[in-house]
Amino acid sequence: MDSMKSFQSYCKADELEEQGYRRRTRKRLIIIGLSTIVLIAIIIGAVFGTLFPVKSSKSKENPPTYTAESIKAICDVTRYPDSCGSTIAAIRSSSNDTDPNPGPSKVFTLSMQVAVGELIRLSSLPQKIISSNVNIDPMVREELEICENLFEDAVKYINDSISAVQGGQGDEMVLSTAKINDIKTWLSSAITNQETCLDGLMEAANHAAIPQEMENATRNSTEFSSNSLAIATHIMTILQSFQVPIHRKLLKFDRHHHGREFDPRFPLWVRKGDRRLLQEENPMPNITVAKDGSGDFRTISEAVELIPKKKKPRFVIYVKEGVYLENVSIDKDYWNVMIYGDGMYKTIVSGSLNKVDGTPTFSSGTLIAAGRRFIARDMGFINTAGPEKEQAVAMRSSSDQSVFYRCYFDAYQDTLYVHSNRQFYRDCHVIGTVDFIFGNAAVVLQNCSIQPRQPGPDQFNTITAQSKTDPNQNTGISIQRCQITPFDNLTATTYLGRPWKDFATTMFMQSHIGDIVDPAGWTQWTQGVDPPNTILYAEYENLGPGSGINERINWPGVKPNVTTEEARRFTVESLIQGNQWLPKDSMVYESSLE
């Protein structure tokens, strides 16, 4: 196969993100003005029942006048319209903003600046709590330090979103479909990070005081982040529904992103160079790791220390066959890293960190991938802690536009932590027991083998536990064309999933479901308590003895027979915008339902 060499151009977007957001061309500024006028016209049309005609930024006609009603109309689409309007008014006042007619683009930016300001204030709280609690439990201390990092990352996500709205480079349109999807992803992740902090503290604390203090402190920042996400979602919906001419131009641009023609076989966000790397049998590595000393290093962690930070060229690490007893972390500053081995069952990274022995779930992964555009191929990741150690993660990914191709994930509870951002898994093997595919990423697992195994005493299996907390988050777990079969001698009751959070969203489609799955399909998070109607548990065109829908549990949020149109929301193309970043020559994947 000739596929590994194509990963080099996957990294070109980093140069735009790292250098381009704040250094925009004059042409971009013209586009910003045009986009803003179009959006203002649409919003005011929605308020007053009349759509103003779209004006060119060079038009000699008088532009429409916008009053405070336009700000109210924008904030009315949020879950918290009062805080949206009042905080935007406050930040305008404090910055001496005298613009009498702020349009949607400016209001959107101001809403994000409000969220950033609150998160910056919040980021100092974890250390204050640690300082004021002399005898703090070590695990609680670690969770608070995790919170601090999560808040800092949330600030970065929202600042990236602000930069995306404010400018661009070259012919890339400011509010293209791709750019709005980026913004929605980053804002969704900012909210996820805040929720992850609270989850960790609840898991670690032996009393409610510290978690309650943090929950109270994060209420505003979560609310303000939610307001920005709602505005982003509303703008996109309006543009699509009104079919504005400029929007059609943007859609056309997206499908020829960076000069690359659309190919339905692969998501475009995996660049041409990365596509080659995924397929090539023996791609040229920057570093080789070998236990027998025949490479540059004997451990993967030593190799990771040499990865340059925030660089665009793809950095490739080849790990020769063997079992590597270590925990590997690809830090958030390590971009465009690829690790490949000699096969998913030949090159194994093995760890045993777990909750019972004092490691937070968030930090227990044998592999942790946080740097953007991470790729793993032909590797295995195992957590050997066992069922008695409770949460013990084999791999956690918070990496945006990450790809796992022909990889093996083996643990018991919480095997695969799909934490946040956009992720794609192809031809992988996942083994676990309780909630063993969990998190709040936008993630597609395609053509994978998913195997529940025998859990501990008095336990039952749940394949998924999705944790969406806001209706506007563009997140969810999609299981497409996978095989659901037992691992070894499985006798425990097994379900497709259970709803971790109020807007849990999971789809099983076009998969073969074995008879190990209970006819009810889904189960409660807390036994005896039905989930809210806001969850979405969907199924589409599955096969196998466990795919029957007649006995599925009768909750309003369970949709065992969705339409083709509804199922399309969970494809590679729609859920993770894969046609903009996945490699189209390096691995076979289906971008749609066909």
Catalytic residue positions, numbered = 435
The DSSP letter of residue 550 is T
Residue 98 structure tokens? 């005298």
Q: Measured between alpha carbons, how far is 458 from 465 in angstroms, rounded to an integer?
A: 19
Q: Measured between alpha carbons, how far is 24 from 45 in angstroms, rounded to an integer?
A: 30
Q: In sequence order, what E strands does 182-313 have?
A: 287-289
Residue 60 CB contacts under 8 Å (≥ 6 apart), including other chains: none
Q: Measured between alpha carbons, how far is 81 from 183 in angstroms, rounded to an integer?
A: 20
The DSSP letter of residue 43 is H
Q: Is 531 helix (H, G, I), strand (E, B) or coil?
A: coil
Q: Is 229 helix (H, G, I), strand (E, B) or coil?
A: helix
Cβ atoms of 4 and 277 closer than 8 Å: yes
Q: Measured between alpha carbons, how far is 27 from 30 in angstroms, rounded to an integer?
A: 5
Q: Measured between alpha carbons, how far is 10 from 12 in angstroms, rounded to an integer?
A: 6
Tally Cβ neighbours within 10 Å of residue 148.
17
Tally Cβ neighbours within 10 Å of residue 166.
17
Cβ atoms of 382 and 394 closer than 8 Å: yes
Q: Measured between alpha carbons, how far is 538 from 549 in angstroms, rounded to an integer?
A: 11
485 residue type, one letter:
T
For the chain, helix (H) and strand (E) counts, in that order, are 14, 26
Residue bearing tokens 């046609």: 579
Residue bearing tokens 């006819």: 519
Residue 261 structure tokens? 């023609």
CA 76 centroid distance within chain: 26
Tally Cβ neighbours within 10 Å of residue 206.
8
Of 346, 335, 408, nearest to 375 (Cα)? 335
Cβ atoms of 412 and 356 closer than 8 Å: no
262 residue type, one letter:
F
Residue 571 structure tokens? 């494809």
The number of residues making up the chain comes to 594
Residue 494, CB-side half-sphere exposure with 13 Å CA sphere: 27
Cβ atoms of 364 and 393 closer than 8 Å: yes
Q: How far is CA 401 from CA 17, 26, 141, 351, 363, in A?
A: 14, 30, 31, 25, 21
DSSP 9-28: GGGHHHHIIIIITTS--HHH
Of 400, 10, 362, nearest to 188 (Cα)? 400
Of 413, 490, 469, 449, nearest to 223 (Cα)? 469
567 residue type, one letter:
A
Tally Cβ neighbours within 10 Å of residue 594.
7
